[in-house]
Amino acid sequence: MRNKSDYRYRRAKEKVAEIKGFYGNLLAYCLVIPFLIWINYQTTSFPWAFFPAFGWGLGLLGHAANAFDYNPFFGKDWERRKLEEFMKNDEL
């Protein structure tokens, strides 16, 4: 029973670390991107700050999806259906 409890604790600790990492990434995004926009505004009329904001934003969305277990394509429901399908096929 102790091994199961240790495993659950370790998984919960890893999950908390993932979420904490996401919030750190979000904080950095919220601090750096406005600074880049300010530099962009001060130096040139070409909106180059859009590119790092967009790229980092996509990465941030991926990080959030991973940290909060959101996957619309291969989520828990999909896994359950596939497991049931393979188990059903294995019976035949």
Q: What's the domain range around 11? A: 4-90
pLDDT-based confidence at residue 44 (cuts at 50, 70, 90): very high
- pLDDT over 80 at 69, yes or no: yes
Q: Could you read off the pLDDT of 76-88 as tens digits, one per residue? A: 777 788 888 888 8
Q: What is the pTM of this model?
A: 0.74
Count how many domains the chain has: 1
- Tell me the C-alpha to C-alpha distance, in Å, between residue 8 and each of 55, 68, 86, 91: 35, 17, 27, 31
- Tell me the C-alpha to C-alpha distance, in Å, between residue 90 and each of 25, 34, 77, 78, 80: 44, 55, 20, 18, 15
